[in-house]
Structure 1
């Protein structure tokens, strides 16, 4: 166990209110993040399902050793079936991590590999048993435009083009040049992309093309729009559909989405569930959920947590305190 600055792999509780923000920070710092979650899918490179035991932890360590990330839509990790266990020597015990608390502190795991038993220690019965088929190679993780906009996903100045649409993305300054309206960008957020779709530009070519596309805009605007479209009316993975959500500050609302002003007004009145937000703002539950997703991704919203009860004040002592007690 190391600090998150020194570890190769970091476990983040994605079900906590600070989990997604911790993932963005660590991902931007180049760390490999393992998402600890009860959800069936997660945006981190690897996933550790809740609850987990030694078998799930062993399977995760084997996956880390192979270097093959888990697809985001895959089922929780499980140890391969029918794998013969060696009788001697006994495997080195793997301690389960301490219980995850609500504190926003990611767990850091030092790199480890699962050692195979020496050939001369395998029992003869196991050696004669049929060996299981090797596991199928993991499917590549599908990344869309919204995933490539996360901090650290791209480096330098890049051009993304799809048909007549052109976006110039400055990953270091977190800015972009492109159309003033967001709705025409809907098609750009559909379908998988790889790094080859983002062409690196030198300074001269960047300046020439940027001059035709107008002033730079904050990249967070595209992150917001990508999260608005990502789940199509379903709450983003890692969040509780029954929880109450609140806005931390007034978000930047777009004129293209006039209903968002009503949703933001309703949320600023206090924490509320998704159905309560939809009823208070007069929109559909899907519209309210998409708005909450967009503001969770940009840090304007968060799940509400009940404050800890205040401790009772200490009772006063002395003569006057005893007289008041009577």
Structure 2
């Protein structure tokens, strides 16, 4: 069976360049690879430096896909890495590496998301190795990707060795953001950035959330609407309190069954843009659902929107008209499902090439 490669989480220019490089590299390794949509491909290249790359990584990682991080950073949390800039030779080396089945990086849990300029790189030195990490703060309207450890460095001299934080700190020790970086983010931004410790408690406006970033679960209210305040306000790192394993089970028992973090991501994306299409997407494009989403009982209109979208690709005004909701409601629903991977912009299929004409005597006879 031919191995397959998919591309996602990148702009059209990068995707076109990757397709061209793949064609060149595939020819060099024997032409046994095939380029397919990311939903069905064995391996998926994700541009981790793009706005929606980390979000795509989170979705694919949760689906059990093998992800290749396309990045200019020297390290990445995905199983494989493709560096920038790239060309046919780099793609050939990657395909050979995939054929051998030897990952460049293996991790058991999500690590810090590395992103490129424009944010400055802050270097911190440990006794084991020197690592550079770039941290970009995503806009509150943009859902993206993971959850686990944030950098905290000495305030006086960023070049000095990193100081190990106290055991109770909800933020893992690594490296610090640039001094100019904002100290507060929305909850979705914290989850996207991959900067929280394994298990934390968040309490605000009489609502309590227990978040397990390793298992990508949370414990909290069964309904989503009571969490709107938590999701729409900005939170500093002091808002998150680390919970040790001995106290975790006791606190969890009071809050009930675990729920997937993707549910919070979905709701955060639903609220984020307030009727405007999320940044990076074309308002004139047609959108489609890849599969039926988990609609929430709190939003009964969403069943109608999902039904309309399952009939085929449509523009935002067409979706609103077919489902009998406002354009803003349809747009928010599309945003939420783009963030969680249930929806995507529709792309016209490539035109089929004409089959080769028959040759030889019998071919000429059949062609008459």
TM-score per shorter chain, which class?
Answer: 0.5 to 0.7
- Equivalences, count: 228
**Corresponding position: 1:33 with 2:64:** no
Q: Distance in 2 between matches of 1:153 and 1:246?
A: 32
Specify the SS of the correspondent of 2:115. strand
**Corresponding position: 1:23 with 2:31:** no
Partner of 1:225: 267
Q: Distance in 1 between matches of 2:363 and 2:306?
A: 50
Q: Residues 191-270 of structure 1: matches in 2 within 5 Å?
A: 191-270=233-312
For normalisation by structure 2, the TM-score amounts to: 0.56
Partner of 1:122: none
**Corresponding position: 1:289 with 2:320:** no
Against the structure 1 CA distance between its residues 227 and 169, is the aligned structure 2 distance closer, same or farther, given a 3 Å change threshold?
A: same
Q: Distance in 1 between matches of 2:11 and 2:336?
A: 17
Partner of 2:346: 304
**Corresponding position: 1:272 with 2:314:** yes
Partner of 1:115: none
- 1:194 offset after TM fit, Å? 2.2
| Higher alpha-carbon Rg | 1
- 1:23 offset after TM fit, Å? 2.0
Q: Residues 67-82 of structure 1: matches in 2 within 5 Å?
A: 72=138
**Residues 245 and 301, structure 1, Cα contact 8 Å, conserved in 2:** yes
Instruction: Compute the RMSD of aligned alpha carbons.
Output: 2.8
**Residues 175 and 219, structure 1, Cα contact 8 Å, conserved in 2:** yes
Partner of 2:10: 13
Measured against aligned partners, the alpha-carbon deviations of 1:140-189 in whole angstroms (never above 9, x if no partner) come to 27520111223733221110000311001111111111111111111111
5+ residue gaps, structure 1:
1-11, 35-45, 48-59, 74-136
Q: Distance in 2 between matches of 1:224 and 1:253?
A: 10
Q: Distance in 2 between matches of 1:256 and 1:310?
A: 44
Partner of 1:76: none
Measured against aligned partners, the alpha-carbon deviations of 1:259-310 in whole angstroms (never above 9, x if no partner) come to 0000000111111111111111111111111111111111111111111111
Against the structure 1 CA distance between its residues 69 and 218, is the aligned structure 2 distance closer, same or farther, given a 3 Å change threshold?
A: closer
**Residues 54 and 192, structure 2, Cα contact 8 Å, conserved in 1:** no
Measured against aligned partners, the alpha-carbon deviations of 1:224-266 in whole angstroms (never above 9, x if no partner) come to 1111111111111111111111111110000000000000001
- For CA contacts below 8 A with separation 6 or more, give which structure has more relative contact order: 1
Measured against aligned partners, the alpha-carbon deviations of 1:75-126 in whole angstroms (never above 9, x if no partner) come to xxxxxxxxxxxxxxxxxxxxxxxxxxxxxxxxxxxxxxxxxxxxxxxxxxxx
Against the structure 1 CA distance between its residues 293 and 313, is the aligned structure 2 distance closer, same or farther, given a 3 Å change threshold?
A: same
Specify the SS of the correspondent of 1:176. strand
Q: Distance in 2 between matches of 1:262 and 1:224?
A: 18
For normalisation by structure 1, the TM-score amounts to: 0.62
Q: Residues 136-155 of structure 1: matches in 2 within 5 Å?
A: 138-140=180-182, 142-150=184-192, 152-155=194-197
